[in-house]
Amino acid sequence: MRFAFTEEQEELRRTVRKLLDRHGGPVIPAPEEPDPGYDPALWKQLGEIGAHGLAVPEEHGGIGATLLEALIVVEELGRRLVSNPFLGSTVLSAQALLATGNTDACARLLPAIADGERIAALAWAEPNSPWHARAFTTSAQAQGTDWLLTGHKTLVLDAAQADVLLVVAMADGEASLFEALPGSTVTPSVPVDLTRRMGEVRLADTPARLIGRAPLRRLTDVAATAIAAEQIGAAQRWLHETVEYTKIRKQFGRPIGSFQAIKHRLADCYTAIESARSLSYAASWAVSTQDDRASELASMAKSACGEAYSLIAAEGVQLHGGIGITWEHEAHLHLKRAHAAKHLFGTPQHHRATLLP
């Protein structure tokens, strides 16, 4: 099978890249303020070019493209280490709603998400529960036409900024998706990756609306593929920046990039990233079209992209020398994002284990 992006998809990539390049590099927070927030102006500009509604059908206020187009945007956001709710709201939450098949809930919630006017957060993981769990301690009890949720969710992307909180909880023995109404307690986290907002959500008889059965397999595939796209975007740009720096950093009177040992290390990084990128694109296509191999390719991409980005993030710090360990330089942001993203939505080791017969 040969895969290639269409001219329209390449133009989308160019448009988003130009926008992000004008915006500049990643936000580097001060040590005493680890939460950088996100730029509302950039968020609005992404909405103006239709990015938020790419994977949302037209009948729900979106552009009516596919998830593949949204993942192109995710890759470009990863390239610049942009901190905003696109991954958690535009991709994960929107896809969770669509996968339930509840047209009423989609008609009510998706238009504002597709416009970027409302931010949605998906409360999925729990403190002692793996991402691939099929049962959760968060429970839902019916009370008339509504439900009451009780439990503790962690690693919730953009939890403190969300206008819409979607929660995966057990109802009548099945994992189900709920829209939590006001009443939950949200506590912002201080994650390893300072460019990503996360939080914890505690629910104690919090009123909620049942949306439908939680599409856990679909959620896992979308999440793994999206984070892989983000990783490959960041890895490609960081390798480019590192190569360029080895051309100007000198030791013994010559650029370090001219030394054979450095060339070998950079070649290893390039090989790893090129292989991972192929898997990322294959998974993006398969998950977008819901191909039979979607789950397999999503796990392969998540594993390969996580390992490749970790390699170049670590090598980048080493090859930048003294400046690579300063707070003002972005090297430490890549190292932290690589480490955190490697564990988000399942480690490479877990995803490789799922591929075993």
CATH for 243: 1.20.140.10
The string of pLDDT tens digits covering residues 85-134 is: 999 999 999 999 999 999 999 999 999 999 999 999 999 999 887 777 77
Q: How many structural domains is the chain composed of? A: 3
CA distance 216 to 175: 8
What single-letter DSSP state applies at residue 151? E
The mean pLDDT of 271-276, rounded to a whole number, is 95
What predicted TM-score, i.e. pTM, was given to this entire model?
0.93
The mean pLDDT of 211-231, rounded to a whole number, is 95
Residue ending a domain, among 183, 214, 245, is: 214
Question: Do both 205 and 99 map to the same domain?
Answer: no
CA distance 121 to 118: 10
Question: Do both 339 and 231 map to the same domain?
Answer: yes
Which 3-state string (H, E, C) describes 304-356?
HHHHHHHHHHHHHHHHHHHHHHCCCCCHHHHHHHHHHHHHCCCCHHHHHHHCC
Question: Do both 71 and 146 map to the same domain?
Answer: no
| Average pLDDT taken over every residue of the chain | 91
Domain membership flag for residue 2: no
Tell me the CATH number at 188. 2.40.110.10
- pLDDT above 80 for 167: yes
> Residue 344 in contact with residue 125, Cβ under 8 Å?
no
Domain membership flag for residue 59: yes
Domain membership flag for residue 52: yes
Residue ending a domain, among 214, 240, 259, is: 214
Residue ending a domain, among 165, 188, 214, is: 214
Question: Do both 324 and 226 map to the same domain?
Answer: yes
Question: Do both 101 and 20 map to the same domain?
Answer: yes
Domain membership flag for residue 68: yes
Which pLDDT does position 145 carry in this prediction? 79
Phi–psi pair at 176, nearest 5 degrees: -130, 160
- pLDDT above 80 for 37: no
Domain membership flag for residue 98: yes
pLDDT band at 357 (very low <50, low <70, confident <90, very high): confident
- pLDDT above 90 for 265: yes
Question: Do both 208 and 332 map to the same domain?
Answer: no
Question: Do both 208 and 238 map to the same domain?
Answer: no
Tell me the CATH number at 13. 1.10.540.10
- pLDDT above 90 for 74: yes
> Residue 266 in contact with residue 272, Cβ under 8 Å?
no
pLDDT band at 28 (very low <50, low <70, confident <90, very high): low
Question: Do both 230 and 347 map to the same domain?
Answer: yes
Which pLDDT does position 130 carry in this prediction? 72
CA distance 122 to 243: 38
The mean pLDDT of 273-277, rounded to a whole number, is 95
Domain membership flag for residue 307: yes
Question: Could you list the residue range(s) of the whole structural domain that residue 296 is in?
Answer: 217-354
- pLDDT above 90 for 322: no
pLDDT band at 4 (very low <50, low <70, confident <90, very high): confident
- pLDDT above 70 for 153: yes
Domain membership flag for residue 1: no
Question: Do both 58 and 164 map to the same domain?
Answer: no
Which pLDDT does position 135 carry in this prediction? 80
Question: Do both 222 and 343 map to the same domain?
Answer: yes
Least confident of 31-40, 222-231, 279-288: 31-40
Question: Do both 147 and 194 map to the same domain?
Answer: yes
Question: Do both 43 and 93 map to the same domain?
Answer: yes
Which pLDDT does position 237 carry in this prediction? 95
The mean pLDDT of 34-42, rounded to a whole number, is 72
Domain membership flag for residue 64: yes
